[in-house]
Structure 1
Amino acid sequence: MNYNSKNKFEDLPDELILLICRYLNIVEILNGFSCLNCRLSKTIKEFSERIDLNIIPSKLINRFLNEILPDISWNVRSIMFSDNFKRCPIKLEMFNNLESIHFSNSFSKNFLFNIKEIKIDLVPVDIQFDLIKMFFSSNEYTNLKRLVLLSFHGFTFSNIQLNQLNQFESLTITLKNNVDLFELLYLLSSSIEELNIHILYNGPFKPLRSFSSALKLIKLRYFHLKTTFEDSIKFKQLEKLIIDSCSSLEYLSIETLTRDQDYIDGYQWEKFLNKLFYLKKFTFSIRYRFKINENDDQKMKEDYLLKSFSTDFWLKQRKWFINFYSTCSFTNENFSLNGFKRKNYEKLFLHTIPYPYALIDATIDINRTKSTNKQYSARDSYSNVRHLYYDGESIPIQIESLKIILDNFKSINELKLDRLIIDYSSLSSNTIIFRHLNKLTIYNTDEKIHLNINFLNLSSMYNLRYIRIPQISLPDYSKMPKQLETLVLTECRDLQFDYIHKYENLRLLKLYLNNFDRLLENNGHLIMNLINSIYYNNKIMETLQLMCHGVNQRKLKTFEKQFNLNTAHYLNSNYNGKCLTIERFNEYFNQIVEF
């Protein structure tokens, strides 16, 4: 070996460069490897197809606008905007192959030109009606083929006169109730091929308006229906809708919460699905809730369930397998621990395997699962899961048991832990590492219980950039991920944040402060000191958000006005009724770059 030779970075094989990229986010990849040479531009091509303008730090915006985006414009297929369109004013004309535009929760027609796909997340209530009329009743979007409209409140189509649509091929939307489902289906019946529906609330399962023609979705091939409200749609109602109106389906997917026993009966599903002659794939996730009856033989019920999904139809003809588990699997000793008592109802979770959806609510001990396929391991069953919500239901769980559960979800990029109480009586030195985790949320458990999250090896999670956690549970900085960009602290009782300077990559700090009105006393002297202290200690942070529900709005508006009179520190405040946002001007970061 020649020890005098010096290898350059460009001498590395493409495979090794791509491996390095797996430890970086897209901004770091594009900032580090773009505009260097043709070979590297081709190597990182896959990372330039989807651009999220939200994750570009303010200090790099000018470089992206003037150098990087023009260099990769030929390969960009999708762009996600921030709510502040002025923050990163791009010129869409440079993206000749752009197909999709994705908005956070705002929308602007200024960014559209012959676009094929539009996505809007978290649509506010005040713009829902205008969006419905714009997309479903105008002739402005003749090239639009795929539309995604998501909202916490759900869209409604009742009492709105709209034209029947001919151009939509794919639609994903959250609806308010079942009536809106029928209104929408009649509107789309002539064109739609792929439909993803999430119904948030209950309502009569029938159209309120009388329609002259039968509902026939003749082109529909893919149908995913999710209901959140318990018993939103009965099994027989669902069966009739699908058989009568969607007989050409090739893929059917159902997610529901129910007390209707037919949903967990394999014989009923078999009779239903045999009527769909073109069906190639079927997936479901059923949460079934039932009352406890001491005279019932739970084991006999579970044996019947397992047998009903073990017929030749399921195991041999279709090769569709299921997993299920029930809270009845808990012993009485589990529920008597620390005074916890058995509830008057139980839950059963039933799903096809591998679990087909990206989001799972694991409120039940999945280690007690039963399956019609003995060859599937738990980890294989949940390999598709990317967002895990684990609700401990304030029932103490031993640390080893929790680790076994979480170990089945190694591919997740978002983890939410709620009402978690850990029993540390059996201590373990092993920690859990989620290599792909990007977002961690810890909700409040109990004011008297301090949740120690050291069982998570956060410092070794190289993709973790967002953490929301009660202030009292925040680990020491040495145990936190160095690349952290967003930190949300809830239940803040301590106003000392001198440690913020240690987070060298922090862009957003959000604080849920107790007794916010007290901070506004004496012309906001305390809150002013808090803001100055945080920004003085962290020179790179862009945004500070102070959540202030129920605060005296007059006092806060007065503080906002006084604060904005002083622009010497390159800071601007804005109160939107829910939080006070303090942002640094882009000029501040331009000054740093020039320096």
Structure 2
Amino acid sequence: MNTGEEITNCLTILETFPNELFMEVFSYLTSIDTIIAFSNLNHRFQSLISQCCEIFDLNSLNKSQCDFIFQIHNTNQWKSLRISNSDEKPYWMNHIIENYISMNNFSQLQFLSVGELKDKTQTLFFSILPSLTNLIYLSIESLCAKEIQSFDLPKLKKLVFSSCLSIDWIRNFSQIETIEYTINHFCENKDHLFWPLTIKHLKFVLMTSVEHSLIYDSLISLSQLTNLEIYQLQSGQVPMFGNQWEQLIHSSCPLLKIFRFYFLFRPLSLRDLKQLMNSYATPFFLKEKKWFVNCHLCASDRGRLYSKQTMFYTLPYPMKTLTTYKNSLKKTMSTLPIDDHVNIYRNVETLIYGNYLPINNDFNRTKINNLVIDTQFEAIHWLHTLTNLQQLHIDSYGYISIEQFRLLLDSASRLYSLSLRKSQLIKLTDDWNDFHICKHLSQKIRILKFQSYGNISECFNEYEIERMVSIFGNKCECLSLGVQIKTHTIEHILSRMLKLSYLFVFIPGNFQSSIKKQLPRSRPLTMEWLEKQQTPFNRSNCIFYGDLYGNHLLL
């Protein structure tokens, strides 16, 4: 049999496979991968794609792929959509909402997650949102809602959003059961927060100072509430005493089963702190509900700043982020029996290592996926908690030796994001010469961010660009850095780093200002300049945003 006949027979055999087999294959791929790989083959595959491709995360696309997806696929069949801006792709969500999304194009959408909404993008989004009547889940990273009128999403069950105190727009959500609400800024004062009466799960995250009485009073009418969470992430008010919560739960929220909180506040006198702890050590908390609390005193010293704080929280530690301050995990008071004090930090996913902390049994089940090194870090003591590590940031005050960095890379098989200074990377790779470390970085890192590019010494020269590209050129998809000059550096990056989907470039510019803390300014690039370079990118396949603070290329 000749080669042509073999190919024909193989194609014939492939075509005879049942649809169920292809559907099984597609189940292992994302909708986007399936469409890009199998579209435009024949009518049968187009029909199969239409049936199985319902979940879309557009954050991983480049502009050409996004154009192709919206051109070839019927968005009225989509069930889930996620879009946002990020450090790796600023302006991306704005581009999609303004250019692709319009009324009645997503009639079957059930799950929607968007990033921070502002100005024109927010106005356009909320002109579309009421028409999405099949939504079950909605997440909005951030918005200012004081001008938004109330409306109903008749099937919505869960809402996650960050906003000011203006929440009247959600009052008419008739079927809502779960709300996760982050208060991240103030636009105007409010005397009361009004919630839909159907709420069963309510979570507050306080990024700014909020009167606790405002939260307390808003719960009085929520007789269906079963889960309550309150997390005060900025130093604020002393929490209410336990007897106040006990009274509220008995009178207004009798179905409450889960109560979690975290409060950060200035230290009290020992007498007042004991009174606070004792109010949560009653039979109602310890025996009836089995809700236990911990209290730590901690100190933070950074540069000339030194402050003391009190951490007061339910157990196990309820937050996904843990910061190690000086003496922060030296237990001062707890209502939990000592014998049960094991694995209390099992929920932690992000560790901000700001002060030396000896590893102990509290971390036995901790799996950290995001590590911020803010002081000297000995990785060897933490390796069992870092097997799931995905993102690593080394702050300007952070330090890890070459030997410890090598151990960390050996253990962290899932690491894909690295953020640090150029000078730190040069030291950790022994001036780009440590083969073992460079090989790990080449195979792992898809997101690479260099910090402190406002300092010209932290910007790359032509030689350093060549060395950096030789290490990260194969896998890196998102890159942020400063370059000392634009000639040959940016062109070299775009020509050699073929998997890049986003590039941020800062080029130091000369400026004078009487404002000492003004952000460093960059020399702006233009699309005309880019099109003159020897790269494959132009205005047809690249989105370009340039200003005084940097240049963004979405490729």
The TM-score by the shorter chain falls in which range?
A: 0.7 to 0.9
Q: Structure 1 71/85 Cα, relative in aligned 2: closer, same or farther at 3 Å?
A: farther
Residue 261 of structure 1 aligns to a residue whose secondary structure is: coil
Give the direction of change, closer, same or farther, for the CA distance of 1:113–1:259 in structure 2 (3 Å limit): closer
CA distance, structure 1, for counterparts of residue 343 and residue 51 of structure 2: 38
- Counterpart contact for 1:65–1:90, Cα < 8 Å: no
Residue-by-residue CA offset, 1:267-323 (whole Å, 9 max, x unaligned):
3322222221121221112112247xxxx4x3x444333332221111110111222
TM-score (ref. length: structure 2): 0.73
Q: Paired residue for 1:109, among 98, 101, 106?
A: 101
In the TM superposition, what are the counterparts of 1:348-363 in structure 2 within 5 Å? 348-363=310-325
Give distance in 1, aligned partners of 2:522 and 2:312: 52
Q: Please, which of 362, 374, 379 is the counterpart of residue 337 of structure 2? A: 374
Task: State whether structure 2 residue 237 is matched by structure 1 residue 272.
Answer: no
Q: 1: distance between equivalents of 2:75 and 2:244?
A: 51
Structure 2 Cα separation of the partners of residues 554 and 240 of structure 1: 49
Residues 535 and 172 (structure 1), Cα distance of their counterparts in 2 relative to 1, 3 Å cut? closer
Q: Is the 8 A contact 2:321 2:348 kept in 1?
A: yes
- 1:359-508 superposed matches below 5 A: 359-363=321-325, 365-369=327-331, 370-374=333-337, 380-386=343-349, 388-390=350-352, 392=354, 397-398=355-356, 401=357, 410-417=366-373, 420-422=374-376, 432=383, 434-445=386-397, 452=401, 455-456=404-405, 457-474=408-425, 475-476=428-429, 478-479=436-437, 480-481=440-441, 482-491=443-452, 492-495=458-461, 496-499=464-467, 500-503=469-472, 505-508=474-477
Q: What displacement does 1:348 show?
A: 1.3
Q: Matches of 1:341 and 1:575 in 2, distance apart? A: 38
**1:171 pairs with one of 152, 159, 163:** 159
Quote how far apart the aligned CAs of 1:148 are: 0.9
Of 453-462 and 534-543, the range deviating more from structure 2: 534-543
Aligned pair partner of 1:320 in 258, 275, 291: 291
Contact between 2:243 and 2:280, CA under 8 Å: does it hold in 1?
yes
Letter in 2 for 1:102: R
Shift of 1:242: 0.5
Distance in 2 of aligned mates of 1:218 and 1:254: 19
Contact 1:249-1:279 within 8 A present in 2 as well: yes
Please say if 1:227 is aligned against 2:219: no
Q: Residues 182 and 204 of structure 2 are in contact (CA less than 8 Å); yes or no, is this contact kept in structure 1? A: yes
| Cα distance in 1, alignment partners of residues 287 and 272 from structure 2 | 24
Alpha-carbon RMSD: 4.1
Give the SS at the match of 1:502.
helix
Deviations 1:150-186 (A, max 9, x none): 12xx32234x44445544322111112x2x03x2353
**Which segment drifts farther, 534-543 or 221-230?**
534-543
Structure 2: which 5+ runs fail to align? 1-16, 86-92, 430-434, 453-457, 512-520
The amino acid of 1:421's aligned partner reads: T
SS in structure 1 of the partner of residue 121 of structure 2: helix
Equivalent position of 1:100 in the other structure: 80
Q: Which residue does the alignment assign to 1:282?
A: 259
Contact 1:497–1:534 (Cα < 8 Å) also in 2: yes
Q: Of residues 520, 524, 536 in structure 2, which corresponds to 1:556?
A: 524
Q: How many residues are aligned here?
A: 480
1:104 partner amino acid: S
Correspondence for 1:217: 196
Counterpart Cα distance in 2 of 1:126 and 1:96: 24
Whole-Å separation in 2 of the counterparts to 1:551 and 1:150: 36
Deviates more, 1:575-584 or 1:346-355: 575-584
Summarize the Cα distance change of 1:407–1:71 in structure 2 as closer, same or farther, 3 Å threshold: farther
- One-letter identity of the residue aligned with 2:535: H
Q: Distance in 1 between matches of 2:496 and 2:226?
A: 58
The one of 481, 504, 527 aligned to 2:486:
527
Q: CA deviation at 1:488?
A: 1.2
In the alignment, structure 1 segments of 5+ residues that lack a partner are 1-34, 208-213, 520-525, 585-595
Cα deviation 1:384-434 (Å, max 9, x = unaligned): 222x15162xxxx44xx36569956741222233xx2328xxx89656361
Matched, 1:308 2:279: yes
How far off its partner does 1:542 sit? 5.1
Q: How does 1:143-154 map to 2 (within 5 A)?
A: 143-151=134-142, 154=143
User: Does the Cα contact within 8 Å between 1:250 and 1:281 map onto a contact in 2?
Assistant: yes
Partners of 1:501 and 1:85 in 2: how far apart?
26
1:225 CA displacement: 1.4
Q: After the TM superposition, which parts of structure 1 deviate over 6 Å for at least 4 consecutive aligned residues? A: 35-41, 66-73, 94-97, 339-342, 376-379, 549-555
Q: 1:486 to 1:219 in 2, by over 3 A?
A: same
| Alignment CA distance shift 1:403-1:487 (3 Å) | farther
Residue among 63, 68, 80 paired with 2:37: 63
Mark the CA change 1:486 to 1:52 in structure 2 (over 3 Å): closer, same or farther: farther
Task: State TM-score, norm by structure 1.
Answer: 0.69
CA distance in 2, matches of 1:532, 1:498: 11
Identity rate of aligned residues, in percent?
A: 17
Instruction: State the alpha-carbon separation in 2 of the partners of residues 309 and 414 from structure 1.
Output: 32
Offset of residue 222 of structure 1: 1.2
Q: Distance in 1 between matches of 2:436 and 2:341?
A: 33
